Structure 1
Amino acid sequence: MEYRTLGNSPVQASAVTFGAWAIGGWMWGGSDRADAIEAIRASFDEGVTSIDTAPIYGQGHSEVLVGEAIKGIPREKVQLLTKFGMRWDTRQGDFAFHTTDNDGNPLDVFKYAAKESVIRECEDSLRRLGTDYIDLLQIHWPDKTTPVSETMEALEILLQQGKIRAAGVSNYSAELLKEARQTLAVASDQVPYSMVERSIEKELVPYCLETGTSIIAYSPLQRGLLTGKIKPDHVFAPGDHRPGTLFYRPENIRRINAFLDKIRPLAGDKGVSLSQLVIRWTIDRPGITVALAGARNAAQAAENARAAAFSLAADERNLIDTALGELVLES
């Protein structure tokens, strides 16, 4: 495994980090507790020392599972990354969306990152995770009802109190990141990035390279699509959010699978899976510090972790990039 420093912080994270959204069950059609805990522990055994979660993932369920999974591991050997600012227990802030919890009960979610809310959420996360500090605390989504400076001031307070080791943002544009950095030199920005979703390369990546801000890429496998295992007629579990997204339209699934067929021989030549090839390509991209890879069981977790165990030569990366240049998705 490779370990990389997050921005200007003291936190070193594994280049492949365990993404704990799916194990929360919410928006993924549920999850199995035992499988989730085994997935995290299998990931750790392969050298993945970092776990990224959030309170909204199962309304606390993901954080609780992460806390259970790391029991018995020396705290200094694991990095806990979590978030704040997606509240389902208040009607303050900027309304985000309607959803349901894991039991099917309706919920309204609000983006809210006022100072007192940030500090309260941090305390709640510490309790659920069973720890006395968080390695990286990130605002989950921008909150247009709270000044960016106020949110950053709350993070500065938590840094001074030792409740967090580093502060980050998530889903921030280059413009918002510049505004945040006027108050606090945040360590990272967590944003969507994959072979088929590369919009951050235009503005955000150059700015992060210029300022030394790390990029944490989420959904590098495009929520499972880039594994090559999803077909146009795939049947999703009730509550799974993926069928409603652009990339999961049947025609786009067909086109992406055709692209994957072009690079599949390279994976075979290197003795790796498509998933591993995709993750390796991602963590080799300019500006990308960490890629989050979710897993719902131990086998998936171990496979993802091993993406850092091999390298890609320049001509191999060029082969992938050429095939990508020929991929056109239906909008």
Structure 2
Amino acid sequence: MEYLTIPQTNLNVSRVALGTWAIGGWMWGGSDEKESIKTIHTALDRGVNLVDTAPVYGFGHSEEIVGKALAQYGKRDQVLISSKVGLEWNEQGRVWRNATPERITKEIDDSLRRLGVDRIDIYFVHWPDPLVPFEKTAETMNKLLIQGKIGAIGVSNFSPEQMDAFRTESPLHLCQPPYNIFEQEIDDEIKPYCQANNIALMTYGALCRGLLSGTMHSRREFHGDDLRKYDPKFQQPRFDDYLAAVDKLKELAAEKSKDLLPLAVRWVLDQGVEIALWGGRKPAQMDPLDEIFGWRLDQDDRQRVQQILTETIKDPVGPEFMAPPTRRKT
């Protein structure tokens, strides 16, 4: 495992963090609690020391599972938690953005209770809320930092302009956008902005909803509320193009004596990203962790990755489909 200290903080974190969206079950076709707890313990045993969750992941279920897993594991001083704020939902499972001071103040206490802790080490605003001035959201987050309820402040899915406004009223330690071999949009503006302003990148979706796991095939079916039923990457004929790219990426990985999954995560880390989020809900999914470290992709390898994408994907698409709506103005 590789570790680093997040700029402007004293938080020493593993460069791979465990994402727990799937563990919450919502939009992933359900989840088994015992298996999920074992998965968290397995990741911690293998050197991961940062677990990322959010209230909206299973509408509190993911945070509750993370809280149970950490209580059973012990060693609380050796494990860091990141969670998020700024989404609201109703009983029908409809989700919308809400980063008002009132919502943030309520959510932090709810999250602390579900997690069974008195401080969340890293707290992200989950999505920008255009109905609340970003300065106002930042001011509320900074109050939580001063109160000691959180240890560091982050934003997720924010643009550079939105981060500029946020930073007028609060320090900003981390940014969490989507990033993987198939979704490289942050290279244009967000990554250079973060690097110029000493903001750590903690990117999500390293395996692109499983496309880069090396186990996906064209006959795979998605059931229930699985978000991949609606993800345009998993719809034909685009799905076959992405799978063709996967096959060629597997060939590149084999030349390195690696499987595709370690190559996909290594690619993220070698692109100037401090922390890559890797989701999982089964202990065996943590087996490839050791294969990510102790090697690097050189410039020629990274150019080959880009060449593969150019040759195979005729109609690329980003992760925009995941963005939740804004709430109605009142």
Q: TM-score of the superposition, structure 2-length normalised? A: 0.90
Percent pairwise identity: 37
Alignment partner, residue 87 of structure 1: 88
Cα distance between partner residues in 1 of 2:93 and 2:224: 17
Deviations 1:258-314, CA, capped at 9 Å, x for gaps: 22222323322433221111000011102x111111011001023246423433334
Shift in alpha-carbon separation, 1:35–1:163, aligned structure 2, 3 A:
same
Q: Does 1:215 align with 2:226?
A: no
Q: Does 1:295 align with 2:295?
A: no
Cα distance between partner residues in 1 of 2:194 and 2:310: 24
Alignment partner, residue 76 of structure 2: 75
How much has 1:188 moved relative to structure 2? 1.1
Contact 2:214 2:259 (8 Å CA) reproduced: no
Deviations 1:49-68, CA, capped at 9 Å, x for gaps: 11110000001000011111
Q: Which runs of 5+ in 1 are unaligned?
A: 90-104
Alignment partner, residue 168 of structure 2: 182
Alignment partner, residue 274 of structure 1: 260
Alignment partner, residue 4 of structure 2: 4
Alignment partner, residue 100 of structure 2: 114
Alignment partner, residue 321 of structure 1: 306
Alignment partner, residue 19 of structure 1: 19
Q: Does 1:244 align with 2:230?
A: yes
What letter is aligned with 1:88? W
Contact 1:159 1:165 (8 Å CA) reproduced: yes
How much has 1:125 moved relative to structure 2? 0.7
Contact 1:232 1:250 (8 Å CA) reproduced: no
Alignment partner, residue 150 of structure 2: 164
Cα distance between partner residues in 2 of 1:155 and 1:88: 21
Deviates more, 1:205-214 or 1:256-265: 256-265
Alignment partner, residue 100 of structure 1: none
Contact 1:141 1:172 (8 Å CA) reproduced: yes
Cα distance between partner residues in 2 of 1:6 and 1:249: 38
What letter is aligned with 2:184? R
Contact 2:266 2:292 (8 Å CA) reproduced: yes
What letter is aligned with 2:218? P
Cα distance between partner residues in 2 of 1:50 and 1:57: 17
Cα distance between partner residues in 1 of 2:166 and 2:290: 32
What letter is aligned with 1:303? P
Alignment partner, residue 151 of structure 1: 137
SS at match of 2:4: strand
How much has 1:178 moved relative to structure 2? 1.1
Deviations 1:136-179, CA, capped at 9 Å, x for gaps: 00111111221111111111111111111101101101111111
SS at match of 1:143: coil
Cα distance between partner residues in 2 of 1:61 and 1:15: 25
What letter is aligned with 2:202? I
What letter is aligned with 1:122? I
Shift in alpha-carbon separation, 1:276–1:69, aligned structure 2, 3 A:
same
Deviates more, 1:142-151 or 1:21-30: 142-151
What letter is aligned with 2:277? L
Alignment partner, residue 29 of structure 1: 29
Q: Which runs of 5+ in 2 are unaligned?
A: 317-330
Aligned residue pairs: how many? 315
Cα distance between partner residues in 1 of 2:184 and 2:15: 19
Structure holding more strand per residue: 1
Q: TM-score of the superposition, structure 1-length normalised? A: 0.90
Alignment partner, residue 48 of structure 1: 48
